[in-house]
Structure 1
Amino acid sequence: MAAIVYQTDKRSGITYAYESVSYWDKDKQQSRAKRTLIGRVDSETKEIVPTDGRGRKKKEVPAPPQRGPIPSVQTSRSFYGATYLLDAIGEKLSITEDLKHCFPSIYWQILSIVYYLILEDKNPLYRFEKWSSLHKHPYGKNITSQRSSELFTSITEEAKNKFFQLQGKRRTEKEFWAYDITSISSYSEHLRQVQYGKNKESDPLAQLNLALVFGERSNLPFYYRKLAGNIPDSKTIKNLLADLDVLGFSKVKLVMDRGFYSQDNINALFKEHLKFLISVKISLAFIRKELDLIYDKFRIFEHYSEKYELYCHTVQTNWLYTQYRPYKGDTLSEPRRIYIHYYYNIDKAAEDEKAFDRKLIALRHELESGKRVPEHENLYKKYFETKTTPKRGTKVTVNEEAVTKAKRYYGFFALLTNEKMDAITALEFYRNKDVVEKAFGNLKERLNMRRTLVSSEQSLDGKLFVEFVALIYLSYIKKQMQETHLFKNYTLQSALDKLDVIECFEAPGQKLRVGELLEKQKEIYIGLGVVPPSSL
């Protein structure tokens, strides 16, 4: 049992308090007590004052330094208008709050690098010191190249996933999420996922792929994943679904281009009870079969959309869903309802037919001149009949039946979905997917990620995450500029530059003071959904 025992030191007169714990000593076969010094007894209040174990008062442990911008200790002036804008956006989208939750010890540094990447278009990180000395930013100090590398390396997968989860929950789950993949070329030969694959920009370098998920209404990204450069788009869906499940997103609606179509992917989406909208090739047998049933009456006025200047029609049919059940050793097969939205564009049909006719003329010329191209042999057989005689030479006849069959589907395209909606709504959802493609442009061009130069996996992972956070800010700014028509008078860069010249003044013990604001600068802030800073 424990008890408090008091003992007075005869030399000093100080009374000490001890915690006495009784126990049985097996060796001596008797009860013993172990005392632990608690503190000294105050002679006036009789309270026990803790000590460090040697009779001295316990030293006060200083409170940990408060994170955030270091208070000004000297008079200074710095550029503030653009970083103030990013501060406000970060608060509005809860980026700052989520970063603080996931990266409590480094989030200020992350934000400062993000600000630099956004405001200093395409500039490498080794120029951060100059920018830092001129601007007020969250961290408030220089971040050296070595420190930025250490920072990238310290960004863990667990913390990133938590950030994705927090940001994703802030997006409405009722909207479609656009999913697409881009390639990023790399000079490094040491990164495991840098592989040679199908580069969408015909870059001869090896590459890694980056998958992004965007909310179509918010136009903001909330998730990305790094992939090996040689993995085709269609192979990524199942892992995407697994990742979204881990992040806690159960009600997902995905919109994708036709590169993600495969029977396995559609079955996987049905299996997880997820909604999808995906572009499909007209050449698919079941797509042509359903189109042929309505082909003759497709181009009637009732099916014409004045807004988009095309014909459209929706067909409800069944998808033969299959699922292998290992626990039963069989394959489940059953019909699932699905909708095919067909569209016909007269202008596109004319362009395709004209291009096809030019191709036929070139192929016939090759045959008649005897300058056959080995790669075109299948086309020769499909669209031409040739006869060669000693007197008349080679006579080339067009296979009109094959040509007519090829032209039959020009101008048509189709979307496949398992959610009931009209064709125009489906088209608008799909066309909004270009926010992902625009985001890729931002990522590669403005954020200097067209060709990555990092040489370690951890550094690459961390840098990609910081670039991704910057992309959220850029996506918000572009969306606001489009909705408020700021692009009529400014580019994204010129709008930021217009704000970047606004100064702030700091002095010890005084409130931060912002310099003069012009009306045009206030209009930009308001257009971007931010209250202008007070100039007083």
Structure 2
Amino acid sequence: MAIINHFDKRSGNTYVYESISYWDKEKQQPRSNRTLIGKIDKETGKVVPTDGRGKKRNQVASDIKSKQGPVPIESVKRRFCGATYLFDEISDKLGITTDLKSCFPDTYKQILSVAYYMILEDHSPLSRFERWDDIHKHPYGKNISSQRSSELFASITEEQKNKYFSFQGRRHAEDEYWAYDTTSISSYSEVLKQAQYGKNKEDDRLPQINLALVFGEKSGLPFYYRKLAGNIPDVKTVQNLLCDLSTLGFDKVKLVMDRGFYSEANINALLKEHLKFIVATKVSLSIVRVELDKIYDELATFPNLNEQYDVYSQTVTTEWDYVQERPYKGDVLRDKRRVYIHLYYNIDKSAEDQRNFDRKLLTCKRELLSGQRIKEHESFYKKYFEVKETPKRGIQVEVKQDAINQAKRYYGYFAFLSNEKMDSITALELYRNKDVIEKAFGNLKERLNMRRTLVSSEKSLDGKLFTAFVGLEILSYIKLHMQQKKLFSDYTLQSFLDKLDVIECFENPGYELRIGEVLEKQKKLYEAMDVLPPA
């Protein structure tokens, strides 16, 4: 359905029609039925009902914006639309447009347009949006200046964001595991309270904020993020995450996390809420080491070899010493909870670990012999070397072979802790699917230009992050389908988007939008995205 304006030279009036396209089977060509809605008042520019057969209800005629369909074309334009058409279709398919419209009824089109711009113009500042607007068709359809984009970002509230996260989360598979991780985003701004110096994962010497992201492993899509102060370690974020998810209405979730999130307090919190989890752990943990020692001699044997992942693996059942403080009763509840430890051994990892360890031993021995000790290595010296010094023989350094043998005994081994019954390979596959979140961080920083931020206020940063998150949802869908259809053998993400971005559309007042030529290769790319080509 489309809304069409038609200028009548005889009367000097511009009439507004509702046009519905259909396929004529007899004539084998597209046709359309047009129904007169009214005419445009020359003074007010509003649509007023006519007295003829096409008269519509006053409500429909007086407010043409309330009707679904495109805004009437007002000027002659020729613009690129192939990539933004794809984004429109993906946004509709994922419910992004519907959910944004529910949460941001006045600004959802601007949010979509800026998100599209961030995807296609990955390294360009928002000050260049006007140039992009001139040559691209997009939801808002008008320029968004730097000042207007700042106002847009500042208008996005926490309540609106949480409502959107809740809507999007309910569209995900109910039984899927959710990958959770954090990344650091550096900032040049001096006005951000949460920009702090912390453990920067990319060795960037700038204050940073941390961004926590939750991804669905089956859907391959993000649906929640949270901004954190840059000096908060990963392990401290889990319990607040659980509170956030509960607030959004997600009480029964399954989380996959790396070992930076492991702590006894976090495991107790997950068990308390009866949530399923898979968490990577250090082999040095006593609960893991005890179980590994029991099966050490049999783990790396042929029956436990998995050819696909090139690992030896086995799952054991054990008990977790559950502790829950109950302030309301003034006591501490202690109990045993069943958990599963998934143990793995990889020969290549073992060889690499030993090689790195031996190189560190050589480096530290040279430091000791030269007398140029490094403060950060003191604990390593003490653990693995015996150092003696006499006036006659000077510095003598001997290795503690028993300590070295003990360290090398566990090289090549790694472990996961879970509370849902599954075999070791299933646990490994679920954990490795967490790679999708690492790729998402790359998209966020590189493709959406969020590696380093320069904003004028906390509100602007919050709004810009949310808009980038919307872009990340669309990007994640595209990359997931490119991977599934093996398109990365022929295209990069950039060349894929470029291939579609050259498709043009033509706008003329009184006529429907006309799409330029779409080649067969371009049609196949749309089909690979499960999207019908534009027509």
TM-score (norm 2): 0.87
Per-residue deviation, residues 88-128 of structure 1 (Å, max 9, x unmatched) = 11111111111111111111111111111111122111111
**Residues 256, 277 of structure 1: 8 Å contact kept:** yes
**Residues 185, 451 of structure 1: 8 Å contact kept:** yes
1: CA distance between counterparts of 2:423 and 2:430?
11
2: CA distance between counterparts of 1:399 and 1:262?
31
Partner of residue 79, structure 1: 80
Per-residue deviation, residues 391-430 of structure 1 (Å, max 9, x unmatched) = 4333322211011001011001100000000000000000
2: CA distance between counterparts of 1:376 and 1:107?
55
Sort the Cα spacing of 1:116 and 1:69 in 2 relative to 1 into closer, same or farther, 3 A.
farther
1:478 partner SS: helix
Q: Which amino acid aligns with 1:231?
A: I
2: CA distance between counterparts of 1:69 and 1:154?
26
2: CA distance between counterparts of 1:374 and 1:262?
28
2:271 partner SS: helix
Sort the Cα spacing of 1:122 and 1:60 in 2 relative to 1 into closer, same or farther, 3 A.
closer
2:65 partner SS: coil
Match status 1:521 vs 2:519: no
Per-residue deviation, residues 187-224 of structure 1 (Å, max 9, x unmatched) = 11111111111111111111111110000011100001
Shift in Å at residue 69 of structure 1? 5.3
Partner of residue 189, structure 2: 188
1:129 partner SS: helix
Sort the Cα spacing of 1:374 and 1:230 in 2 relative to 1 into closer, same or farther, 3 A.
closer
Partner of residue 46, structure 2: none
Greater Cα offset, 71-80 or 445-454: 71-80
User: Which residues of structure 1 form unaligned runs of 5+?
Assistant: 1-58
Partner of residue 271, structure 1: 272
Partner of residue 416, structure 2: 415
Shift in Å at residue 373 of structure 1? 2.9
Q: Which amino acid aligns with 1:201?
A: E
**Residues 111, 138 of structure 1: 8 Å contact kept:** yes
1: CA distance between counterparts of 2:388 and 2:119?
65
Partner of residue 104, structure 2: 103
1: CA distance between counterparts of 2:406 and 2:202?
32
2: CA distance between counterparts of 1:137 and 1:337?
54
**Residues 69, 138 of structure 1: 8 Å contact kept:** no
Matches within 5 A, 1:376-387: 376-387=377-388
Partner of residue 65, structure 2: 66
Sort the Cα spacing of 1:248 and 1:60 in 2 relative to 1 into closer, same or farther, 3 A.
closer
2: CA distance between counterparts of 1:193 and 1:393?
52
Partner of residue 131, structure 1: 132
Sort the Cα spacing of 1:407 and 1:81 in 2 relative to 1 into closer, same or farther, 3 A.
same
Q: Which amino acid aligns with 1:97?
A: T
Shift in Å at residue 458 of structure 1? 1.1
Partner of residue 44, structure 1: none
Shift in Å at residue 168 of structure 1? 0.3
Q: Which amino acid aligns with 2:81?
A: Y
Partner of residue 398, structure 1: 399
Shift in Å at residue 482 of structure 1? 0.3
Partner of residue 441, structure 2: 440
Partner of residue 355, structure 1: 356
Note the aligned Cα RMSD (angstroms): 1.6
2: CA distance between counterparts of 1:482 and 1:208?
31
Partner of residue 505, structure 1: 506
Per-residue deviation, residues 142-161 of structure 1 (Å, max 9, x unmatched) = 11111111111111111111
2: CA distance between counterparts of 1:531 and 1:60?
34
Match status 1:532 vs 2:523: no
**Residues 154, 462 of structure 1: 8 Å contact kept:** yes
Q: Which amino acid aligns with 2:334?
A: S
2: CA distance between counterparts of 1:184 and 1:367?
39
Partner of residue 11, structure 1: none
Per-residue deviation, residues 418-454 of structure 1 (Å, max 9, x unmatched) = 0000000000000010111110111011111111111
Sort the Cα spacing of 1:61 and 1:169 in 2 relative to 1 into closer, same or farther, 3 A.
closer
Match status 1:141 vs 2:142: yes
Partner of residue 459, structure 2: 458
Partner of residue 177, structure 2: 176
1:210 partner SS: strand
2: CA distance between counterparts of 1:156 and 1:379?
50
Q: Which amino acid aligns with 1:280?
A: T
Q: Which amino acid aligns with 1:479?
A: L
1:148 partner SS: helix
2: CA distance between counterparts of 1:334 and 1:302?
35
Partner of residue 16, structure 1: none
2: CA distance between counterparts of 1:497 and 1:356?
47
Q: Which amino acid aligns with 1:127?
A: R
Sort the Cα spacing of 1:107 and 1:375 in 2 relative to 1 into closer, same or farther, 3 A.
closer
Shift in Å at residue 64 of structure 1? 4.3
2: CA distance between counterparts of 1:60 and 1:438?
48
2: CA distance between counterparts of 1:137 and 1:79?
9
2: CA distance between counterparts of 1:96 and 1:60?
25
1: CA distance between counterparts of 2:236 and 2:273?
17
1:366 partner SS: helix
TM-score (norm 1): 0.86
Sort the Cα spacing of 1:501 and 1:364 in 2 relative to 1 into closer, same or farther, 3 A.
same
Greater Cα offset, 504-513 or 198-207: 504-513
1: CA distance between counterparts of 2:512 and 2:376?
74
Partner of residue 28, structure 2: none
Partner of residue 479, structure 2: 478
Shift in Å at residue 61 of structure 1? 12
2: CA distance between counterparts of 1:126 and 1:221?
28
1:66 partner SS: helix
Shift in Å at residue 229 of structure 1? 0.8
Greater Cα offset, 142-151 or 368-377: 368-377
2: CA distance between counterparts of 1:475 and 1:61?
38
Partner of residue 203, structure 1: 204
2: CA distance between counterparts of 1:515 and 1:446?
28
Partner of residue 25, structure 1: none
Partner of residue 369, structure 1: 370
Matches within 5 A, 1:332-351: 332-351=333-352
2: CA distance between counterparts of 1:309 and 1:432?
17
Shift in Å at residue 294 of structure 1? 1.0
2: CA distance between counterparts of 1:419 and 1:173?
16
1: CA distance between counterparts of 2:117 and 2:532?
22
Q: Which amino acid aligns with 2:213?
A: L
1:226 partner SS: strand
Sort the Cα spacing of 1:311 and 1:72 in 2 relative to 1 into closer, same or farther, 3 A.
same
2:277 partner SS: strand
Sort the Cα spacing of 1:62 and 1:506 in 2 relative to 1 into closer, same or farther, 3 A.
closer
1: CA distance between counterparts of 2:162 and 2:253?
17
1:288 partner SS: helix
Per-residue deviation, residues 10-60 of structure 1 (Å, max 9, x unmatched) = xxxxxxxxxxxxxxxxxxxxxxxxxxxxxxxxxxxxxxxxxxxxxxxxx99
Match status 1:215 vs 2:216: yes
Shift in Å at residue 379 of structure 1? 2.0
Shift in Å at residue 162 of structure 1? 0.9
Q: Which amino acid aligns with 2:233?
A: P
Sort the Cα spacing of 1:243 and 1:364 in 2 relative to 1 into closer, same or farther, 3 A.
same
Matches within 5 A, 1:247-262: 247-262=248-263
**Residues 70, 139 of structure 1: 8 Å contact kept:** no
